[in-house]
Every structure is written in C-alpha cells, then in structure tokens.
Structure 1
Amino acid sequence: MLKKKRLYCSVLSHSTLDYLGQLPVEIAQHILCHCDHETLLTLSQVSSYWHWLTQDSALWRNLYMTHPHWGTRVRRKRRVPADVDYRYLYQQRFLLDRRWQQGDKQDRTLVGHADSIYCVQFDKDMIVTGSRDRTIKCWDMQGKCIRTLTGHYASVLCLQYDDAIMVSGSSDHTILMWNMRTFETIRRMRGHASGVLDVGFDDEIIASCSKDATIRIWGREDGELRRTLHGHRGPVNAIQFRGSRLVSASGDAVIKLWDIQTGQCLRDFVGHSRGLACIRFDGRRIVSGSNDNKIKVWDAETGECTLTCTGHTGLVRALHFDQDKIVSGSYDQSIRVWDIRTGKMLHNFQSCHSSWVFDVMFDETKIISTSQDQRILIMDFAHDMDTTHLV
C-alpha cells in the first residue's frame, strides 16, 4: 500500500501536467492526505502552489494522529492547544525519533554529591537524587543544585515523588515522607528491621521493601502500617505496583505478584538463575533485571517469560521501559537500549560511568543515570531542539 501511495505521488510530481493545480483545493488536499511525510516534502518542492498545498496543518495533523505512537500521546492528553502546528510538531518528533535510532545525543554530567548516588527521578523541571552521603539533592534542568535535603542517618537508597509528597528509604531502616512544596519532613515511618531498598506510592498507600525480606504497606495519609507481606527468602530489592497488584524482585531469584488488598501471593515467576536487582511493572508486563546479567520480560497474567535480553556482562542494576524500548544500567558500567518487542540491543553506550551504574530513568528526550562514581549523567537526545511544544 505504501509503495502504491509513493508511486502515485511520484506520477503527480513528474507529470508535465499540473494535475493538482487543475483541481479544487479541497480535492487536491484530499489526495495529498494519502501521502507519507517524505512524499509531502518532495511534492512541496515542485512549485510554489504545491508548496502552499503541502503546508496545510490538517495534512500534518492526519499524519501525526495516524502515527502508531505519536497519535496515542495526543489522545492521552486531556487538553491539546488549538493552535498546535502539526507540521512543525511532526518534524520535531521525526528528528527526535531519528536521534534515538542513531544514538545521536549530547552528554552532560552533574557533580555535587560526596558519595555514590543510588537513585534518581526526574520530570520536565527537576531532577531528584539520593546518595550514600545521606542527602537528597534537587537539581534544575540546567544542572544547578537548587536544594539539599537532610534527614536520613544513613545512605538514601530509594525515592519517589509527585507534586505533593516525596517518599525516601534508607539504610537507617526508616522511610521519610517529605512535603514537596516546603521540602520539610512530614513523618518518619519505622518498622523494617534492615535497610529500605525500594519504595512506591499512589493516592492511598505507600509500599516499601527491605533487606529484611519483607514488603510493607502503609497508609499515605496517616503513615500507619496496614499490612506486611512475607514470602521471599532473601532481600526484597525492588517493587512496583499498579492498582491492587504489586510485583517484587528478590535476591532469592524469584519474582512474586501480590494482591495488596488481601496480602496473597498470586504467582511466582521463576526463570532467572541468580538474584534479582530491579523490576518494573505497567500492569500488564513485568520487566526484570538480575545478577545473571539478563533482562526478562514477563506476561503478568500468564506468568510466561516472553523475552530475554542478553548482552550485559555484569549485574543489571536498574531498568526502565515504555511501549517501545527498555533502557538498562549495569555493573558493567554500560547503559543499553533494547527493543521491547524483539529483544534486539539497539544501543550499547559504553563507559558512561567510571563505576557501577545504580539507577537509570528516561523520557522521550533524555536518559538520566547515576553511579557509584558520584556523577549524574544526562544523555540528551533533544539537544538544540525546541521541545516546548511537543505533545
């Protein structure tokens, strides 16, 4: 079908007769709406009139909205500005996708922590990191440290924040809740018998896991312990939950799926040959990283391992994924990008850090990672681009 469209548009552009020029504008643009973006760009060079026709925002909106991924993003937005220039938006998205495909990025490094950096989260305005130096630091996107938070008595191992609160876990066995407007501590939650290795929360609950092999569920509003999940035979290194389902990854090499409301373990996922270090869950798929140097993708409903990614030569310490790709960080000091459908390694960014990679996160424009080398690395795929209008 695509070849037929290109052939048809090629005939239009190379004919001695100006077919489009003889047609009403509405019909000409209806014909052009069947062209892909490369053909539109070619046709725009035929004449000034054809150039004018191909600038129509409706053509580019149709192209954008029918794209398998970009259109989904627009439809998920509650409000899209009425004056969006879809031609410009398409060009920016196309350039950004090509940079991801080619690994075309610019690296920036942030320095400020006095020891290993174990965790990171960021949004469009701010980066937040937790460190073995017992502090949490907030950075602006220009790389300036805008705030340093103290309160933990040992390493900050994990954190998560939203607009209202941040929750952090530490080697001091406690969980701190912070007010993200005043940056003051709201409460300290005690209960774990060892270091708190991962945390997560939604509007109602906070979940935490620990080296003590337990998972604890707390009330977000009052900080009261609601439930303790027992079942793992080793440290629970990572958790993530969606709705009432929580997944956990342990040093015992087992992934467990839990019902938070009942505390029941619904399923074990067995396949890694060594302990697990990280896990991510979107409600349907589970992606795990292990000390066997492998990444596995699982169907949460059936328990089936649907994909195994091999290539890392050290423990897979951190990962993050979306509908297209997985980004992983390892003790082999590399950050790698994988196709989540085929398992193919798309990029192997070597020597990103001079020591173990502890955490990694990405969005549509960048990858940010942290390491034992005390550095925060920003891989910027949108360098020199205007991303303010990306939808």
Structure 2
Amino acid sequence: MRFSKYFPVAFIYFFINSFGLPFGLTYTALLSPLLYVWVVITRRQEILWPFLLALAPVVLIHLSLGVDEKSYFISLLNITLVYIFCRAAYTFFIKCEHPGEILHQLLIINFVCCLIAIPLFFTPYSHLLWTEQLITTGVEAVQRLSLLTYEPSYYALLFTPLFCYFLLQLIFYRNRINGWLLLVMLLLPLALSFSLGVIGSLVMALVITSVVYFRTFIRNKRFVNLAGIAIVTGMAAVMAGFIFFPENILFVRIGNVLSGKDSSGRGRTFEAFWLAGQLLEKKSYWWGIGAGQIKILGFDLIRDYYGYSYDTVRVAIPNAAAETLALFGWVGFIVRILTEWFLFVYTRVWRNYYRLLLFAFIFIYQFTGSFITNVAEYVIWVIVFTPVFKEYDVVKRQS
C-alpha cells in the first residue's frame, strides 16, 4: 500500500484529531498556522484577510450589543482556525490527484480498528475506544463505538464520506474489495456507533438521490439487488425483533421518538430551536447573541432544560442550524441556508452522484445535530462544493 504525501494529515484528521486534547481543541486547529502558509504558497492567494473583512461588520454589531469579550474573541479565533482548515481541505481536494486512494486507505485502517474494538468491548479497557452514554428514556447507559474521537455521533459523521464513496463504488461496479466484505466494512462502523441521526439522514439522502436519478438507479441491477436485500433483511429483522426481542434498545428508542419521549432526539431537533429562540430574546432576533455567548447567557437555561447535573461545566445547543440561529440571529441563519443553496446551484452539485448524496445528507443532518465549529461537517460541505471525484459525474455514468 503506497501512501500519499497528504496521508499523514488525513490520518490525523480522521483518527486522532482530538485525542488527548481538551474538549473543543483539535490538532488541525493547532496546525492551522502551517496550513495557512501552505495554502497561500500553494495557491498564491491570500485567504485570511477577505474572511476577516467579511466578518468585521458582524463583530462590530455584536460588540455594540454587548458581549463577554474574552469568550467572544476566543470563539472567533476558533471559527477562524476552522475556516483555515476548510480552505486547506479545499486546496487538498483540488491538488490531490487521487483522493480516492486516501479514502481507500482510511477505510481499511478504520475496519482494522473496528475489529480491535470489538473484543476490547468485553474488557475493563473498553472506555479507550467506546463511549458509554444515555441514549433514550427508559434505557440504561450503553457503550457506543467512538474510537479515539470524543463522541460516537462525531465518529459516525467522520465516517460518512467514506460510506457514501464506497457504497457508490459498490453500486457502480467499481469496487476493488469483495462486495460482501465491503458491505461489512461500511455497515459495521455505523451499526456500532449507533448514531440514529447519522443513519437516518443517510437513509433519507439515499432515497432522495435515487429518486432524483430514478431511471439510472432502477436500471442498475446491483442497486436493485442491494435495495431488495436491504428491504427484505430489514423487514425480517423487525419481525424477529418484535417476536423475540421486543424490548431491545433500537425498538425502545424508535418508540420513544414516535411518542415524543426520546430526550436525545428532541434535544437535537425542535427543542434546540426553542432554546435558540429563548436566547435571541436576550439580545437581538436579527443578529443573535454573538459567538461564544451561549455559555454566558444560556448556561442555567440549557443545564436546567436538559436536566444536566449541577457540576456540569459545559453546555451547548446540539444542532448546527439552531446554534447558527442563536449566535448570529435570523440574518446568520438565512445567510447560511442561502449560501448552501447558492453554492449547490453554482457548483452544479446534482451533476455528480457522490456530491449530491453528500449534499442531501449534510443538509438534513445540520437540522438534527452537529455544531458550528464541527470540522467533520465542514469537510463534507467542502467535498460537496468542490469539483472532485469525477468518476461519479452523471454524464460519465450515463455514457
């Protein structure tokens, strides 16, 4: 296996980006000064000052409204570091000749890590690669795969670009790995992470993509076979579950979601927007409360609403779209959505199956989870709006 010169950064980003660091800090953030210099030299273009100039009017408005300046500017620094990494990711995708090879290597290493994690689950050292969490009402804390990331849902989000890429590779007969083995390599990480937000968004994205290109997919025998197997297996599993394991975790959580008792699902969706609205009342509906101000203005509100213990030191709105609304108001929220759709049209995302699939996924997912400085989310947006992975261009596929 020959590794690209870009592979070390890709490895850091995927496997150890937050390992051993305080929450919120990443190695890609620490490497941002070097990444900034690399982007400027590689592209011969200044990237930082235009961003800061665009941000300046918003900063002046927030300062005039009143903010805790220390928290505000620390948060702005974090946002700036994330922006630099996104520009570095964009530069990587347009300069790397074979990004698919790096994804292939990450997939193999990730599968090996999963195989290591499974027996570790049954030992006292399971906490090294698994995270114990309360996931829904009426269910005790369960262990979910997170590897060396800080949270299972974040790990599942990291894995999503690999899942979509190799699933399409399988559908279009481009897979170099045995089909059944590849399916295991794709499904096992998602199943062990048990991130219903990611899995549900992926299912909806697959449905949307297959509907948009219905004629192409319905003529694809492998897609039809995979869809048939998935439907039959799913129905059989549901029936077996109802008969033999009616109180399993998945059924309990789905039942809680449908009945409105799932605290995690509510907290990551409409309740997040309700909390954002409560915070907007304290400052400005149009411009929000400002970066870094959730823990200043909303600590008691969020802690009490979600029922956190009194020794909690960190609170957040676990929804990227709702957090945008809270921090930057309706102006920021509208700019976010309009920018996504403008770039969708401008870069003609629909002309590439992979980019369309990822767009449908991440557009849905931003309303169900994530956070405003989540580099895993922004890397997906970068892929969506960058003309890469041309092997999945619609014109080439149809010809």
**Which protein is bigger by CA-based radius of gyration?**
1
| Structure (1/2) with the larger helix percentage | 2
Give your verdict on TM over 0.5: no
Normalising by structure 2, what TM-score?
Answer: 0.27
More strand by share: 1
